[in-house]
Chains A and B, each alone.
Chain A
């Protein structure tokens, strides 16, 4: 549990600022670009923003932050444990290294990812509404948040958590055992980040393909 809470702090708390900064840039940038290029009203812009953030960008950006910050740190840490011989000592002491080393480092970022996704979506909407060139109206802002589909938000949280957990489980399974000497440690980190990004994006792509094929078949059903 100690390791789990530590990882929760590293991934959930320390990454919150970065996620919110990205969300602010993405939300603000999206609104300003759309308003400058298309003749559509603020309500439509914010509706588009909330839909895009909740359905796609919230998940993708949060996963990328987890890959960049947590996967690199965790891969490095576990590769060091392997190279230094600490993992071997743990196993000889009768400690289940999958349970102690791997499981908390998969579950904690997954749980943090779900919360970071929420931070991302709400920050992006808030900043998007603030930077729009209309008079700031709290009531309008509340309407935007109310317009968010709770099922969509829940689905986004679940997707972020599940995809992060699967990518980390895949990366760590190979990152630990392959590290043999010191030069393998930075390799484990860079390979880990790259593999995690590929796995996360493939999972998201597969989800989108599945979702669109289900939507198409639902439309074709008489």
Chain B
């Protein structure tokens, strides 16, 4: 699969090669708040996940299932997207641990813990790790990821750049919030009418 040729359909404005190049930083203003906004995000994620490229999703609200360990939480999307075993996911997580500054013991503790036992900052890092393990072509980011980050505001960007720098980011942003998260050269794109 030629990843450079991958582009999501149904967007207006004509896709320039630069707009969907590796590392593109896009903002998609969605027209509504509340339930309508969430439904729009649901539809968009469903559409993206049905495409032949790998997509990660970064969210803040209920990022993990509470009744299983972090390792199983990391494994779940990979089991569905790539049919990887739990052991393989643990091995891949070990390869990435230096990006997060974790020792082997830290990682082992993280993987064995349940989400409820971990502080918010570690959960935020674990969410980034999950996204990184997918090795995504696209990362869909919900607004709260920047508006109320689990990690420190500065740390969020540096960690995202380190782990997911090559992927295309698509920030799903409420249309009336004009101030975009700082520190990133965002390009705004729009949905086609009726999409």
The residues of A with any CB-CB pair to B shorter than 8 Å are 2, 77, 81, 84-86, 88-96, 100
Contact = CB atoms under 8 A, between A and B. Distances in A.
Contacts of A94: 45, 49, 55, 57, 77, 80-81
A52 to B, nearest CB: 40
Given A81-B65, A89-B59, A89-B63, A95 B76 contact: yes
A89 B67 contact: no
A2 B77 CA distance: 14
B66 interface: yes
A88 B38 contact: yes
Given A77-B67, A89-B57, A89-B59, 9 more contacts: A88-B38, A91-B45, A93-B49, A93-B76, A94-B57, A94-B81, A95-B76, A95-B77, A100-B80
Given A86-B66, A89-B63, A2 B72 contact: yes
Contacts of B67: 77
Contacts of B95: none
Interface of B: 38, 41-42, 45-46, 49, 55-57, 59, 61-67, 72, 76-77, 80-81, 140
B80 A95 contact: yes
Given A91-B45, A94-B49, A100 B76 contact: yes
Contacts of A85: 61-62
B80 A92 contact: no
Q: Give the interface SS of chain A, mostly helix, strand, loop or mixed.
A: helix
A89 B62 contact: yes
Contact of A93 (B41, B72, B77): B77
Q: Which of A77, A94, A95 has the most CB of B within 10 A?
A: A94
Contacts of A2: 72
Contact of A92 (B41, B66, B72, B81): B41
Given A95-B76, A100-B76, A90 B45 contact: no
A89 B42 CA distance: 9
23 contacts: A77-B67, A81-B65, A84-B66, A85-B61, A85-B62, A86-B62, A86-B66, A88-B38, A89-B57, A89-B61, A89-B64, A91-B45, A91-B46, A92-B45, A92-B57, A93-B56, A93-B57, A93-B77, A93-B80, A94-B55, A94-B57, A95-B77, A96-B80
B151 to A, nearest CB: 18
A96 B46 CA distance: 10
A86 B65 contact: yes
A2 B57 CA distance: 23
Contacts of A88: 38, 42, 62
Nearest to A89: B62
B143 to A, nearest CB: 13
Among A86, A91, A92, A95, find the residue whose CB has the most chain B CB atoms closer than 10 A: A92
A105 to B, nearest CB: 12
